[in-house]
Amino acid sequence: MIVEIKVPDLGESINEVEIGEWLVEVGDWVNVDDDLVAVDSDKATVEIPSPQAGVLVEIIKKQGEPAAIGEVVGRLDTEKEEAESDGGGAGEKTESEAPAGKSKERVAKTTTRASEDTDTATTEAEETEELADNNMVMPAAARILGELGIDADGVEGTGPGGRVLKEDALKAVEKSKAPQEKKEQPPSAKTPQGNDGQEEEERVAMTPIRRTIASRLLEAKQNMALLTTFNEADMSEVKRFRSQFGKDFNEKYGIRLGFMSFFIKASVAALLDFPVVNARIEGNEIVYRRSCDIGVAIGGGKGLVVPVLRRAETMSFAGIEQQIGDFAERAQANKLSMDELSGGSFTISNGGVYGSLLSTPIVNPPQSAILGLHAIQDRPVAIDGEVVIRPMMYLALTYDHRIIDGREAVTFLRGIKERIENPQKLLLEI
């Protein structure tokens, strides 16, 4: 029976995807729920699982091609493997009749051994015919080379007396295909070569995720009254806190105590003090959120993604660090789900991990504000009339001035600064 492989529903706002890498090839056996193909949406990369066990017999949509939700991208034959096994004799079992523990690797090995036995028998018959005809090119090899117009004189034979076997012909075919395939690759639009013989430009199509990032950032710039306010935080106490308790924290929870959990806890406290920063505009209404759903910007395998910590106000330091670690690992493997990437009410972006000293982050619509963190640097600061060296970090809050007034924004950011400089407040929730 032929089973169609369709693009699943990936969310209300997603109508089209781009086909990514096919994880199996035509002719491969797959089990139920084996990943078949990766598809790129405007939010994440997801894999389409196999609806049934069978053989992939057709790939309709190739890598890089667009596909609508519900569109057929390939087909499976659930009976092909069984039919092939039946032809092998009464003593053989089909995969469906095999014991439940038998894996597809075992089936593949059995099929490979049978194929090797057949090839061995064929080769021996060809050698017998060659010896009778006193011909240095075996019939099967001659047929393969003749079909592709490859001169047998240029093929090195590995058979007895230098005879050209079927395997030699196949190797020659592969060698001839390599440069041809390279030549037939879709050319990207490039400018003429420079004086050094290298191309000066190369045009590459934007991925769906990158197109969405570009569109949303442009939307924010065009539709919001964006303003950024700055402050700086002395990181001495947080660094001392991490140095004092970091080892015990790691031993108990199995994860490193980072800076992000402090800023998330501080942001949650400030959002509870200023609910308007956690709100959004819809038409002529302001929608206030009852929970603090914090998006954390993470560099993923195919671009920046912002997974969301749901109800961050209920999470502990350990819970935050564990969730962020899980997000980061799965972001690199493009394994984040649609639900994990949507619905945030406030975002934190840490450009400091890349060395950024200062920036003006752009709000992620429909949110109303974003906090930008930056690199920690030892700088001279005046404290109690004396100049001392302290580890300082610049903080930046970009906000939608249509909904958040300057006084609220400045006070909100100062609240984060005070809690970072006195982390005891976070533990006492004050």
Catalogue the active-site residues.
401, 405
Query: How buried is residue 199: exposed, middle or buried, by Cβ count under 10 Å (0-12/13-18/19+)?
Result: exposed
Query: Facing residues of 35 across strands?
Result: 49
Task: Quote the CA–CA distance of 403 and 166 in Å, as a whole number.
Answer: 75
Residue whose C-alpha is closest to residue 362's, from 374, 349, 373: 349
Q: 341 phi and psi, to 5 degrees?
A: -110, 10
Task: Quote the CA–CA distance of 26 and 278 in Å, as a whole number.
Answer: 50
Query: How buried is residue 138: exposed, middle or buried, by Cβ count under 10 Å (0-12/13-18/19+)?
Result: buried
Pairing of strands 45-49, 294-296: unpaired
DSSP string of 197-214, one letter each residue? SSBS----PPPHHHHHHH
Whole-Å CA distances, 94 to 6, 66, 80, 242: 27, 37, 10, 60
